[in-house]
């Protein structure tokens, strides 16, 4: 029965509905099992906890990922409830570890609060512009092109002569005025075909030498190369834009620069809090007792 419920969920529930608090009926009960009730908010918190512990957001877009998390949460809650009903007690060590985990979360909350304060009162656009001007060398870019291509592969089912013949057919269709993007979607045999063959912006080193030589020889937007042979097969390359070497425009790097500057705030705040806490203004150390504790573990390790 549970598996049936999860199958329905995986088919009918989009991942964004579960990870976005604004779109979710957070207080509604999502699942009941024996004495346990799990709300949408519970599942959202569990997703955030998994993100905090290293899972990437892309993992939650995989089919069935969210229902599997719901199953895991149900299992944890059920077993915890059974432990409670059976009178299972915390050990002193478990209680201490639970308290330590709370302290770590409070530490993270303090960092987040301090970071939010700095972020909220900083003009990030102005700071990014200052950084862009002051550190000009960081933003120099080599000559680049924005290009698209159509790739006809040579493989076990198509030898070189057959690949070249098919590429020549596509080349003739281009010469007759057919759309490069449409032909790329129909004929090209790599991941760029879905976007009409668009490869984006790249420098010479990004592509194999034969491809780069042909792409960077193009100068007029819309110009298409002849057939280009590489170890992948035969390409037809279309120039969308030629970008000379020079400093990247501020608008091109602004978002990335702001994100990097904001990320550095957390590093700085955490570092300063850590340094302050390691040197409290008033503390007293029982050195004899410290040596007793230390010797216990030194002696155990030497046995």
pLDDT of residue 283: 86
Q: What is the pLDDT of residues 187-217, one digit of tens each?
A: 999 999 999 999 999 999 999 999 999 999 9
- State the CATH class of domain 143-244: alpha beta
- pLDDT tens digits along 81-125: 999 999 998 899 999 999 999 999 999 999 999 999 988 889 999
Residue extent(s) of CATH 3.10.50.40 domains in the chain: 143-244
Instruction: Label residue 63 by pLDDT band (50, 70, 90).
Output: confident
Mean pLDDT value of segment 12-16? 39
When pLDDT is averaged across residues 17-43 and rounded to a whole number, the result is: 74
Instruction: Determine contact, residues 37/29, Cβ cutoff 8 Å.
Output: yes
Going across the sheet that includes 144-153, the strands are: 198-203, 144-153, 233-243, 228-230
Supply the pLDDT for residue 229: 97
pLDDT-derived band at 163 (thresholds 50, 70, 90) equals very high
pLDDT at 104: 92
Residue 50, token pair as written in the block:
């998994």
Q: Is the pLDDT of residue 185 over 60?
A: yes
Is the pLDDT reported for residue 158 higher than 90? yes
C-alpha closest to that of 34 among 88, 84, 79? 79
CB atoms within 10 A of CB 30: 21
Task: Tell me the DSSP string of the chain.
Answer: -HHHHHHHHHHH--HHHHH-GGGS-TTSEEEEETTEEEEHHHHHHHHHHHHHTT--GGGGGSTTHHHHHHHHHHHHHHHHHHHHHTTPPPPHHHHHHHHHHHHHHHHHHHHHHHHHHHHHT--HHHHHHHHHHHTGGGGEE--EEEEEEEEEE-BTTB-HHHHHHHHHHHHHHHHTT--HHHHHHHH--SGGGGGTTEEEEEEGGGS-HHHHHHHHH--STT-B---EEETTEEEEEEEEEEE-SEEPPHHHHHHHHHHHHHHHHHHHHHHHHHHHHHS-SS----HHHHHHHHHHHHHHHH-
Question: Model confidence at 302, in pLDDT bands (50, 70, 90)?
Answer: low
C-alpha span between 236 and 192 (Å, rounded): 13
- Mean confidence (pLDDT) of the chain: 87
Beta carbons within 8 Å of 64's beta carbon, 6+ residues apart = 6, 10
Assess whether pLDDT exceeds 60 at residue 1.
Answer: no
**What pLDDT is attached to residue 17?**
43
Q: Residue 248: which pLDDT band, with cuts at 50, 70 and 90? A: confident
Compute the average pLDDT of residues 165-187: 97
Among 20-34, 72-86, 173-187, 208-222, the minimum mean pLDDT is found in 20-34
Q: Are 180 and 196 in contact (CB under 8 A)?
A: yes
The token duo for 226 is 């002849």
- pTM value? 0.51
Whether residue 25 has pLDDT greater than 80: no
Could you please report the per-residue DSSP string of 6-47?
A: HHHHHHH--HHHHH-GGGS-TTSEEEEETTEEEEHHHHHHHH
Cβ–Cβ under 8 Å, residues 150 and 184: yes
Q: pLDDT at residue 3 above 70?
A: no
The residues, any chain, with a CB within 8 Å of residue 66's CB and separated by 6 or more, are 9, 10, 13, 15, 18, 19, 43, 47, 60
What pLDDT score was predicted for residue 56?
81
């Amino acid at each position: 029965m549970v598996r049936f419920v999860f199958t329905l969920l995986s088919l009918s529930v989009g991942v964004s509905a579960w990870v976005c608090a604004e779109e979710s009926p957070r207080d509604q009960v999502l699942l009941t099992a024996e004495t346990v009730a799990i709300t949408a908010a519970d599942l959202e918190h569990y997703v955030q906890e998994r993100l905090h512990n290293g899972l990437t957001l892309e993992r939650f877009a995989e089919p069935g990922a969210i229902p599997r998390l719901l199953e895991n949460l149900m299992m944890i809650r059920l077993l915890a409830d059974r432990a409670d009903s059976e009178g299972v007690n915390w050990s002193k060590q478990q209680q201490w570890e639970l308290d330590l985990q709370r302290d770590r979360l409070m530490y993270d909350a303090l960092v987040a609060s301090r970071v939010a304060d700095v972020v909220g009162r900083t003009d990030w656009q102005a700071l990014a512009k200052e950084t862009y001007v002051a550190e000009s060398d960081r933003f120099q870019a080599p000559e680049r092109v924005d290009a698209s291509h159509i790739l006809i592969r040579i493989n076990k089912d198509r030898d070189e002569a057959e690949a070249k013949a098919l590429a020549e057919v596509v080349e003739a269709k281009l010469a007759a005025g057919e759309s490069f993007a449409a032909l790329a979607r129909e004929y090209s045999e790599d991941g760029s075909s879905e976007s009409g063959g668009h490869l984006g912006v790249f420098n010479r080193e990004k592509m194999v030498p034969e491809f780069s030589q042909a792409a960077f020889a193009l100068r007029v937007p819309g110009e298409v190369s002849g057939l280009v042979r590489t170890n992948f097969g035969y390409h037809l390359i279309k120039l969308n834009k030629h970008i000379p070497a020079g400093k990247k425009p501020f608008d091109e790097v602004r978002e990335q620069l702001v994100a990097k500057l904001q990320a550095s705030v957390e590093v700085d705040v955490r570092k300063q809090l850590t340094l302050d806490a390691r040197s409290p203004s008033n503390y007293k150390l029982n050195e004899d007792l410290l040596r007793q504790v230390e010797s216990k573990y030194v002696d155990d390790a030497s046995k």
